[in-house]
Homo-oligomer: A and B are copies of this chain.
């Protein structure tokens, strides 16, 4: 037995009251695409949705809650969230990010339970599959407005969803997470629509020109070309083919002063 182990044996961590559990809850966002009926090709309608599960048991039986689960001793909280995400959706990988801690006394009637919120960006089909596999009654995809204004939510999950929404809006403008909602190659209209869906009051009349022809932002996006250097285009959503782009791994440094 080494020195540390010996000392650890003498140290009694349960001298004080300790929490009753440390769950990780995940705000899973997805962007649903809905075909628009029209005579010709057109961009689909996007909607930002969040996955919620109807609780069956006490506390908050019948209310909707974020998917999540308790952390175990042998894993970090990120691993807990990652494991839960995998258990809930069958997918690992994808964008998973820490949001914050929720520890207001009394937030959970089961005891002293400190929850950690994460948010994930998941493809629509993943959540649809999950919904099909499970009791369809229990799993739902809701718009932010529905979740915040119409549903009865468990615990402090309304606060968590609000915070996650604020965060994803900020991230959508300040980082390149938009790529999580886009195929590897995409047109600028698709990108613009994705941004607009998450941040409705983002309006840029000259969006195409701005992201392509200004030097200061040069490097966020690049044109996709084939092996012969020919620029690749897509006409999936339009009559006239549009140039395809991809994100580079460059992210500019933002500042309020300059």
Instruction: Point out residues on A near B: beta carbons under 8 Å.
Output: 4, 7-8, 11, 13-14, 16-22, 58-59, 70-78, 98, 100-101, 103-105, 109-114, 116, 173-176, 195, 202, 204, 207, 210-211, 217, 220, 251-258
Which B residues are in CB contact (< 8 Å) with A110? 8, 11, 13
- Besides the contacts A74-B105, A175-B256, what 15 more A-B pairs have beta carbons closer than 8 Å? A13-B111, A14-B20, A16-B21, A18-B20, A77-B103, A173-B255, A174-B254, A204-B257, A207-B257, A210-B258, A217-B256, A217-B257, A251-B256, A252-B256, A254-B255
Complex CA gap A110/B58 in Å reads: 34
Q: Tell me the smallest distance from the CB of A172 to a CB of chain B, in Å.
A: 9
Which B residues are in CB contact (< 8 Å) with A104? 76
Contact, CB under 8 Å: A103 / B59: no
Which B residues are in CB contact (< 8 Å) with A75? 105
Q: Which residue of B lies closest to A251 (CB)?
A: B256
**Cβ-defined partner of A4 (8 Å) among B109, B202, B253, B256:** B109
Chain A binding surface SS class: loop
Complex CA gap A8/B20 in Å reads: 12
Q: Tell me the smallest distance from the CB of A146 to a CB of chain B, in Å.
A: 26
Q: Tell me the smallest distance from the CB of A86 to a CB of chain B, in Å.
A: 18
